[in-house]
Structure formats: C-alpha cells, structure tokens
Structure 1
C-alpha cells in the first residue's frame, strides 16, 4: 500500500529539484557573469536620477570625458592583469607608465618624432618588464616585493630626471589633437584601448600562449610536468605588462599634453583594483580582458558620479581601496566556487 505513495512522492519531488537546479545553473552561467554589468547600470541610473548630478552626469560631454580619461587606466589595468593570470603581481605598472611618459616627453622636447618616442616609451616599459620577470623567476624574489622595489627605484629616477617639474614643451600638436580628438563622437584614445583589448584578448583566449598562462596560474607544478617552460612564460607575462604600461604612458602624454613626474602614482591602485575585479565579471573566477574593461568603467562611473555630486577627493581613494579588497575577495570566492 505504501509503495505507490513512496514512488509518487519521489516523482513529485523530482520536478522542483530539476527546476531548482535549472535556476541555479542559470544564475551561475549568467547571474555571476553579468552581475557587475548590472550593478554598473544601476549606479548609472542612480546618478542620473540623483538631484545633485542629474543635470551633469547623463550628458554626452560627461560620457566622452569618462571614456577618454579611462582609456589610459584601462590599458594599465590590462598590463596588471597579465601577470595575475600566472598568480604574480606587478605593482610597478603605474610607476612604469610615469617613467615611460617622462622619457618619451623629454625625447620629443628635444626634437624626436612622435612615432620614435612611442617606440622609446614601449621599449622602456618592456625593459622594466624584463627586469621584473628576471627578479621573480631567476632571483626568486616575491613578485609583490620585487615590483614594489622597482616602482620605488623608478620614482627616484623620475625625480632625478625632472626635478619634480612637468615636461610640457615642444610636444607635437598632432599628439595633443589625438588625445583630445573624437571620431564619430567617440574619443580617439578609446580606439587605442579597443585595439589593445582586442589583440590581448585574442592572444589570451585563442593562442597556446594564453592557455599556457592559465595552466600555470591553475597549477604550476602540473604545467611543468606537461612540458610548459614556466620560467619563460612568467617572464613574458611581465614583459607584456611592461610594454602595455609604456604604451599607456605615451597615450597619457597625448591626453594631458605633457608628462607629470607624479602621474604614475594615481594609476597603480585603480589599475590593480580593476584587474582583480575582472575575475568577478564575464568569466567569474577567471581573470579576463572583458572583465577588466567592465571593472574599469564600473569604478569610473562611481568616481564620476561622486565627483559631480561634490564628494571630497578622499572618497575616490576609499572607493578604489574597497574595490581592491572586494576584487581580491570575489576572485578567491568565485575561483573556489567554480573549482
């Protein structure tokens, strides 16, 4: 008498369980992936409706300013993102940007053509990346300590080179026009970011190089066992980081019409915050290029709204600091959850 009831009970419970699994699976596939995008949209709506910012925030002028200003930061965040894939830190990305911009600006002030100055900036950034990679892999120094030490050394070099004075003379007009110009209403620096993001995304996702990086970040011992040259790959991750930082330094010259010896300091923290936050967007638990871009404009939307609302300058630092902690926490949590 009881057997049919037991069977019926089991059958009735199977459908809700299936629906629950389907809902959970949907959330894991899409909810986690696009939660930061949705939050960005909600924050934008909030500042659009807020009385203090509704006349200034949702304007095309403010949107162009945000996009243009964040193009450089996004490139630096992509620079910081590459070593993170192999579980290494590059906290010298901001200092590297500053060093590259200073020497490129000095060279152009002395008459060097802008395209050679661009190559110089990338070469300087790449050289710093090589040094960072060798210190981490060959000398065995913790990447956080070694890159922090390099950033301090760079600060001393920049101060010696400039005496604390910005370089603004003889910057080619074509460079300044690029930094402030638009195409179809979109700031030109954004196209530089777009090219970098597409190229880096292709390399990371569709080439063996990118798969090797993720393999090292997942399990370096297993990567060694399957024949991956982990030392070379880690060095290359720092080299790419340095090259992107140097390129960002050159774009920063275009944006500001010169080179400020202290500009690098303002990029390090938000770049690292965005790089870590990338693991909570698009591909949860995995550092990814699209996630970096989303995270950069997520932070930019908050900071822009706060600035227009009249918030004190220190509030931006609080936001970036909390974002860095949140990014690290979410990347750890989502990584364990996916595993």
Structure 2
C-alpha cells in the first residue's frame, strides 16, 4: 500500500518527512560607487551631461538655464530628439538609417503643398505626412528585410531619392506660411488653465504629477528586482536619487512656468519617450529587436521572425521621421528644399553618445534622449558664446568620437578584454 510519504516523494531519513523550507533569496544592496562601477556606460552619460550643463552655465553666466533659453532649447531641438528615438531602435537592431533628414524634408513638403498650395485643412497635411513617412519606412524595410540589401546602402540611396523627390514636390521653391493651428504643434503653449501669479500653475502641476508617477514606477521596479535577488541601491541612496530627480525636474518646470508655460511639442516628445521606452523594455517586439542586434543567428534559431521585425523597425523609423518633419515644418512655418540637411548625423550622434553600441544589441531610448540633449546643450551653449561654426563642428565631432571610444572601453572592461 502506498503511503502518504511515498506520494509526496522521498524525504531525507530522520526529518519526519518534512521538507525544510527553501532559504529566502538575499536582497543585495549597493552604494553609489558600486552601482556606477557596474554601470559605467550609463553613469558616464549622465555625469557627462551634468558636467556639460554646469560648464556652459558657468561660461554663459547662467543664460543657458534662463527661462527663455530653456524654452527655446526645447522648441529648437525637439525634432532631433524624435529622430533619435527611432534611430536608436534601428541601431539596436544592427542597422543604420542615413535617409531621415531627406524624409523630414519630403514629409514637410507634402504637407506644405496640400495645406498651403491647395488650401486643404491643416490636419490633412499632417495625416498625409504620416502616410508618406510610413510608406518610406515600408520601402526601406522591404529592401533591407526581404531582399537582404544592407541598410547602409538602402538608406543612402533613400537619402538621394527622397531629397530629389522633395525638390520635385516643391518645384525647387519654399512654401509658407502654414495656418496658425499647424504652427501650434511646434510653437504652441498650454498655460493659464489653473491661473497664474507671475508663473503658470498648470505647468507646475503637470510636472509634479510626472515626478510622482516616476517615484511610484521606480519603487515598483526596485521591489521587483529585490524579489529576484538582484542588486539594488540602498534605501537612503534610493530616496536621495528620487529627491535629486524631483529637484531637477521641478527646477526645469519652474523655468518653463516663468517663461511661456508648457510647450505643446514637449508633451508630444514626452508621450513618445514613455511609449517607446515601454515598447523596448516591456514588449516581445522590443526584446526581439535586442535579440536581433545582439546575435542574429541565435535570434533566428530561437524562432524570431527577423525579417518581420526588421521591416517594422524601418516602418517605425519612417513614422517618426514624419513626426519630426511635421514638427520641423511647423517650427519653421514652411517647407524648404534644403530642410532636414544633416539631421541624420545628429540623430545617429545622439544614439551613440547615449550609449548605443556600433555592433547593435545595446542602447536605450532614454540614453538616446540624453545623448541628444548633450548635443543640444553643446550647440546652444556654443552659440551663446559666439563660437564659430567651424569650431562647433570640430568639437561635436570630437565628442562623438570620444563617446564611441568610451562605449568600446566599457564593453571591453565588462567582458574582461584589454
């Protein structure tokens, strides 16, 4: 006759049949130096950003962080940050896109022809621009994913092709102005909803809610890592990090509130960052992008439909290029044949400075945004100081080279290669 003990499985003799409970996984905490050492690439980006901001704040006697200049900084570089979001996903997948500047010009040109020349409603131009961007992305994705031509060649051809199409669409002339509603995308502000006392209360409320949401998500993420016995910072350090982030964000909000309020384009950018950060971190599609860039053969053997993923990566890049095209044409209040010139290099630089690996498989949306902000602060700071354009290009090129060299060093350090 089978005993209860036999059904439960064999138990060590002498323990009365009771199985000892599994020991709880230890919760590991770490100080700031350990975390910075273990995450040298990420921490280096943030430290560099802080150092650059402090340097130019000192050199410009505080003008860099003045309310009006911070507002202009958001308005002037928002489209580059939008492109950086898409570009970092392309680079993570192991590709590159050299055509985004031309696509920005083409989508803005299509919108301008429909709205300005043909008198259609402003929203029709935006929808048309998005459709064109999706079609361009599908064109690139087809040649890269299904024909097998390297993305460098496909998008280099696209850079020439879509620049030529822009010239055809505009007939080599500029078109302006857009209706006021269209201009609000890049130049509009939300303010006065909750009143004001020399500053915009609505802007402060929005940022305060954002800080509270960030604190909640960080607390949940910390608890999740603890549950899997992953290394986390000590509680005092965790609280200090939240307080520093809250102070920086609210100081930025105060500067905006004392200027013109909350820019509409900043809301658009924030939504894109949140959505794409979630997509890359928490979805199957995002994990498959990292898998393809990290090891294409392993991803194929694991059952990842690499052609499908690569196709949609480029479709997404086309979509975000169209969004950037709408923002840029709205900001410039028109469409020009030379619009978007060299934007692809700024977007690529933002991704690499933000920690993306040249070989693919590494990078984050937030890192690309920080990389874009580093480039924006440098450009804006040097303009305020009256630095010559040639010198600006030299400095930006050196910063990009040093950022990639640092990423290579961090990778070799992590793998033990010297």
Asked if these proteins are the same fold (TM beyond 0.5), I'd say yes
Q: Which residue of 2 aligns with 1:262?
A: 338
Q: Is the 8 A contact 2:112 2:125 kept in 1?
A: yes
Give me the TM-score of the superposition, normalised by structure 1: 0.86
Q: Is the 8 A contact 1:286 1:331 kept in 2?
A: no
Displacement of 1:28 in angstroms is 2.6
Q: Which residue of 1 aligns with 2:319?
A: 243
Q: Which residue of 1 aligns with 2:77?
A: 70
1:191 aligns with 2:267: yes
Displacement of 1:22 in angstroms is 8.0
Corresponding residue to 1:289 among 365, 371, 378: 365
Corresponding residue to 1:155 among 159, 163, 168: 163
SS at match of 2:97: coil
Cα distance, 1:320–1:103 mapped onto 2, change above 3 Å: farther
Displacement of 1:30 in angstroms is 4.8
Displacement of 1:24 in angstroms is 7.0
Give me the TM-score of the superposition, normalised by structure 2: 0.70
Cα distance, 1:57–1:188 mapped onto 2, change above 3 Å: same
How does 1:127-276 map onto structure 2 within 5 Å?
127-169=135-177, 171-183=178-190, 184=203, 185-276=261-352
CA distance in 2, matches of 1:91, 1:266: 9
SS at match of 1:90: coil
| Structure 1: 4+ residue segments shifted above 3 A | 21-25, 29-32, 326-339
Q: Is the 8 A contact 1:127 1:239 kept in 2?
A: yes
Q: Considering fraction of residues, name the structure with more helix.
A: 1
Cα distance, 1:230–1:89 mapped onto 2, change above 3 Å: same
Q: Is the 8 A contact 1:126 1:239 kept in 2?
A: yes
1:300 aligns with 2:376: yes
Cα root mean square deviation, aligned: 2.3
CA distance in 2, matches of 1:108, 1:99: 14
Corresponding residue to 2:400 among 320, 324, 329: 324
Q: Which residue of 2 aligns with 1:108?
A: 115
Provide Cα deviations, 1:190-247, integer angstroms capped at 9, x if missing partner: 1111111111111111110000110111111011111111011111111101110011
1:87 aligns with 2:87: no
Cα distance, 1:240–1:338 mapped onto 2, change above 3 Å: farther
SS at match of 2:323: helix
Over alpha carbons, which structure has the higher Rg?
2
Cα distance, 1:293–1:207 mapped onto 2, change above 3 Å: same
Unmatched 5+ residue regions in structure 1? 1-20
Unmatched 5+ residue regions in structure 2? 1-29, 191-202, 204-260
